[in-house]
A and B are shown apart, each in its own frame.
Chain A
């Protein structure tokens, strides 16, 4: 699987948009970009995934650059409950492929 690079930590003010970057410069054509988050002492939670088009769901938006070498997860109106470690993962589009977690970004929402 391609490796990803994320900043170790970020702060964001409550109510503002949180923009979390991820670099995946060695991504292959058949690899999707997935985002998960892990709130302290819980299992990871799926957020969103995409291949090359921008995606939006009720939780977040995913912006993927045209060359697919980087992406940004956007939480449009961050709340205190969004404080978590966010993981960006690239994975082939085979359903039963494993997920390999990097170190992620620890996002802290500031009141």
Chain B
């Protein structure tokens, strides 16, 4: 099946700093990628839809100036958490769609801890 990678797999940062998470589709091109956030013992919550070459579409309640998304190529989308706070500590997961009725494929996730 299609492979999606994320980097880093985990990161610890200090409050007030920014963190960039990369999502790559390794063996296919993805015009659309999705970013999710998952808090402990909760389900995945969609944060935004990332479209190659255009601005991301954010879900209601997600601050676009805090969670910067860039989809510069058909194989790479990045999520930057700016001015991170402890409440931003979470598991961040990206996915990419193969298009049509094929399922989305998910990355392994990035665990962010803000101290």
Q: Is B44 an interface residue (CB 8 A)?
A: yes
> What is the total number of residues of chain B having a CB less than 8 Å from a CB of chain A?
29
The residues in A between 56 and 81 inclusive whose CB is less than 8 angstroms from any CB of B are none
Contacts known (A41-B109, A43-B93, A44-B106); A49 close to B101, Cβ less than 8 A: yes
> What is the total number of residues of chain A having a CB less than 8 Å from a CB of chain B?
24
Q: Please tell me if the beta carbons of B104 and A46 are within 8 angstroms of each other in the complex.
A: yes
CA distance A102 to B97 in the complex (A): 19
CA distance A34 to B97 in the complex (A): 13
Across the interface, B103 reaches (CB within 8 A) one of A34, A102, A104, namely A34
Contacts known (A41-B109, A43-B106, A43-B107); A96 close to B31, Cβ less than 8 A: yes
Task: Specify the chain A residue showing the minimal Cβ separation from B99.
Answer: A95
Task: Specify the chain A residue showing the minimal Cβ separation from B2.
Answer: A46
CB distance from A17 to the nearest CB of B (A): 23
Q: Please tell me if the beta carbons of A95 and B101 are within 8 angstroms of each other in the complex.
A: yes
CA distance A106 to B107 in the complex (A): 21
Interface residues of B (CB under 8 A from A): 1, 4, 6, 31-32, 34, 36, 43-46, 49, 91, 93, 95, 97-109, 111
Contacts known (A98-B34, A103-B43, A104-B43); A46 close to B101, Cβ less than 8 A: no
Contacts known (A41-B91, A43-B107); A98 close to B101, Cβ less than 8 A: no
Contacts known (A43-B107, A104-B43); A99 close to B95, Cβ less than 8 A: yes
Interface residues of A (CB under 8 A from B): 32, 34, 36, 38, 41-46, 49, 51, 87, 93, 95-104
Contacts known (A42-B109, A43-B107, A44-B44); A96 close to B101, Cβ less than 8 A: no
CA distance A45 to B93 in the complex (A): 12
CB distance from A45 to the nearest CB of B (A): 7
Across the interface, B44 reaches (CB within 8 A) one of A41, A46, A96, A101, namely A101
